[in-house]
Amino acid sequence: MQYYVDGFRPGDPDLKPAAPGRAPTLGRKDLPEKVDVLIAGCGPAGLCLAAQLSQFPDIHTMIVEPKPGPIEKGQADGVNVRSMEMFQAFGFAEKVKREAYWVNQTNFWMPDPKNPDHIARVGRQQDVADDQSEMPHTLMNQARIHELFLDVMRKSPARLDPDYGLAVQTLEIDTTTDDHPVTVTLERADGTTTTVRANYVVGADGARSNVRKAIGGKLHGDAAHQAWGVMDILANSDFPDLRMKNLITSAKEGNLLILPREGGYLFRMYVELDKLNPDERVAARNLTVDHMIAAANRIMKPYSIDVKEVVWWSVYEIGHRLTDKFDDVPEGETATRMPRVFTMGDACHTHSPKAGQGMNVSMGDAFNLGWKLAQVLGGRSDPSLLHSYTEERRTEAKRLVDTDHEWARIMSAPLTPGELDGSEMPRFQKHFVANLEFTGGLAVRYDPSPIVADGAQQALATGLPLGKRFHSAPVVRMADAMEMQLGHVAEADGRWRIYAFAGKDDSSAPGSRIHALADWLENDPASPVRRYTRTGEDIDAVIDVRAVFQQDFRDLDYEDMPSLLKPAKGTFGLRDFEKVFCVDHKNGHDIYDMRGIDRAQGCMVVVRPDQYVAHILPLDATGELAEFFAGFLLP
């Protein structure tokens, strides 16, 4: 963690210096007339975007929420490894790791072949495969995740707080101007309204999104006509695996999911309830928490639960829905019109909660959109970059909805004889294993586009697939022999990163390929580092270059390092010592082996601000590198 570069400040290092004129706004009465970005909704999507934008001192963001304050419990609880990796970039992964439940194992229970009225454990599965991520899969209530984002916002340069008690009612877009073209009507709890003008509006206002409606978006999809219940409870049980995640199938009473939760006592159950008739709404059944508890006790026989406190519960019907477009530009007009309004999260796609994806995918939307908005608002990219949001995220959402569909189908089909007599691995388990990468949030792969190179040389880094998230691995920081994750240098700061992996025997002596690349990046007029970094900015303000060497840290010499790898930064021009890394020889974690990096030649890996691999090139492919950045950055 780096701080004090502009001088010592006492206190919490996460509390960043406020941008000029910024002060906490919680509960303010006077609303601004114009903002850069107006976000509707304080769910995980809205808060993640707000946390991201609040890092930029020049961007004015407003986030509105009809509720009078933060929620306290309920809703989603699954944080997959990909979201944990993103939390690391926001600085609160350690907090979640400490507080949350870790899903280490998932167990599978089926009717006991000897006594099908009883369930028996038939399988166990490690939940996060080895080296799938350096992060655990965790479970923690959504309200607490909200708080952690709110904390980031409050401590950011923008000192951003939500404006509670305000709902987006509707909005209008003036396509003839670029000066705050979206006029948003906000409604107060008492029904009165006010307006605010924004350059961009983002609807993170949930499944009934008014923003979606205002831009004519429609959710398409279907329902499974199946009622489910979810409850967060404090309870005792003789069920032996109460602190593991369990997928339970009973012979006749339906399915049950047990998810242990933060704090060691709380857990969540998803309980299969009644089949619904076509056209029937779940509300019509008047299902209560008592129905749920009774159903759970029937499903988990011979075990039972004795509920002491119901913290939260809800009954719902599975549905899978998706909007055509995640922004306001009609199909066919993308060449001539730039997006001004976006939807994220449940506002544009909904799926079954049991897959635990809702919160994760919503935050993934926000992390994708955040840096793009910042880059366009900062004048660093053409607004056409914003088209890529709907392109990239709708594809992912579609995949999610499809997978979810399949999962629901698999879950609801009757058990086969092989499953019932125990001769066959239950399909839950099969499907679960096959989908580990997907549920971890790691299957996301963006297609080639101006921000994901086409002609990349994947062979130079076979373990870092282009368009997928940069998969971190252990390294040792040269300057202080710190054993750490290379991926953790990436903060949620909107910067691009180039990881330059040195070839064999390259110790950065003058004339070596690493040295030459760094010198070119620092000095050549064609270098993207030179072209896109503005006067007065730190040399790594736009593109942050880091190098990794194959030698032990003891065998490298700081004096040999090119000046780009020991840059002078901040008010005082202090040298940054955190740009150079080595293979972790001591612990035998060789990042070259782990990520399939070409030992002989080395390579450059270009990584987007949202941590996705954008390009892979030989160390001397300076022309191609320049060309790639010229595809979306403005000088």
Ligand X SMILES: Cc1cc2nc3c(=O)[nH]c(=O)nc-3n(C[C@H](O)[C@H](O)[C@H](O)COP(=O)(O)OP(=O)(O)OC[C@H]3O[C@@H](n4cnc5c(N)ncnc54)[C@H](O)[C@@H]3O)c2cc1C
Residues that bind ligand X (CB under 6 A): 40-46, 64-67, 75-76, 78, 142, 167-168, 204-206, 210, 230, 314, 345-347, 353, 356, 358-359, 362
Q: Which of residues 5-44 bind its own copies (CB under 8 A)?
A: 5, 7-8, 10-13
156: amino acid identity, one letter: S
The answer for residues whose C-beta is within 8 angstroms of residue 132's C-beta and 6 or more apart is: 81, 436, 437, 440, 442
Phi, psi of 320 (to 5 degrees): -130, 115
Tokens of 430: 């099969």
Q: Is 105 in the site for its own copies (CB under 8 A)?
A: yes
Closer CB to its own copies, 468 or 577, in the complex: 577
Q: Is 85 in the site for its own copies (CB under 8 A)?
A: no
When CB distances are held under 5 to 8 angstroms depending on the partner's kind, the choice from its own copies, ligand X, none that residue 163 binds is: none
Q: Is 242 in the site for its own copies (CB under 8 A)?
A: yes
Among 129, 574, 594, 634, binds its own copies (CB under 8 A): 574
569 within 8 A of 540, measured Cβ to Cβ = yes
Q: Is 554 in the site for its own copies (CB under 8 A)?
A: yes
When CB distances are held under 5 to 8 angstroms depending on the partner's kind, the choice from ligand X, its own copies, none that residue 142 binds is: ligand X
Among 236, 416, 462, 523, binds its own copies (CB under 8 A): 236
Q: Is 562 in the site for its own copies (CB under 8 A)?
A: no
CB of 590 to ligand X, least distance (A): 38
Q: Is 117 in the site for its own copies (CB under 8 A)?
A: no
d(CA 173, CA 383): 16
CB of 347 to ligand X, least distance (A): 6
Q: Is 98 in the site for its own copies (CB under 8 A)?
A: yes
| 320-to-136, 224, 269, 282, 337 alpha-carbon distances in Å | 27, 8, 21, 15, 30
Q: Is 278 in the site for its own copies (CB under 8 A)?
A: no
When CB distances are held under 5 to 8 angstroms depending on the partner's kind, the choice from ligand X, its own copies, none that residue 548 binds is: none
Tokens of 305: 């639960």
Q: What is the DSSP letter of 576?
A: P
d(CA 161, CA 60): 12
Q: Is 131 in the site for its own copies (CB under 8 A)?
A: no
Q: What is the DSSP letter of 354?
A: G
d(CA 385, CA 485): 30
| 252-to-116, 162, 315, 602 alpha-carbon distances in Å | 9, 48, 21, 58
Helix, strand, coil content of the chain in percent (nearest 5): 30, 30, 45
When CB distances are held under 5 to 8 angstroms depending on the partner's kind, the choice from ligand X, its own copies, none that residue 568 binds is: its own copies
Length of the chain equals: 635
**Secondary structure class of 169 (helix, strand, coil):** strand
CB of 280 to its own copies, least distance (A): 33
326 within 8 A of 45, measured Cβ to Cβ = no
When CB distances are held under 5 to 8 angstroms depending on the partner's kind, the choice from its own copies, ligand X, none that residue 558 binds is: its own copies
Q: Is 577 in the site for its own copies (CB under 8 A)?
A: yes
Sign (positive or negative) of CA dihedral 78, 83, 84, 87: negative
| Other Cβ atoms within 10 Å of 10 Cβ, number | 5
CB of 384 to ligand X, least distance (A): 25
Q: Residue with structure tokens 């709110």? A: 150
When CB distances are held under 5 to 8 angstroms depending on the partner's kind, the choice from ligand X, its own copies, none that residue 121 binds is: none
Q: Which of residues 382-441 bind its own copies (CB under 8 A)?
A: none
| Other Cβ atoms within 10 Å of 353 Cβ, number | 21
Phi, psi of 549 (to 5 degrees): -115, 160
Among 81, 244, 361, 582, binds its own copies (CB under 8 A): 244
When CB distances are held under 5 to 8 angstroms depending on the partner's kind, the choice from its own copies, ligand X, none that residue 559 binds is: its own copies
Q: Is 232 in the site for its own copies (CB under 8 A)?
A: yes
Closer CB to ligand X, 41 or 440, in the complex: 41
Query: Which positions touch its own copies (CB under 8 A)?
Result: 1-5, 7-8, 10-13, 72-73, 94-95, 97-99, 101-102, 104-105, 124, 143-144, 147, 232, 234-236, 240-244, 260, 262-266, 308-309, 311, 479-483, 554, 557-559, 568, 570, 572-578
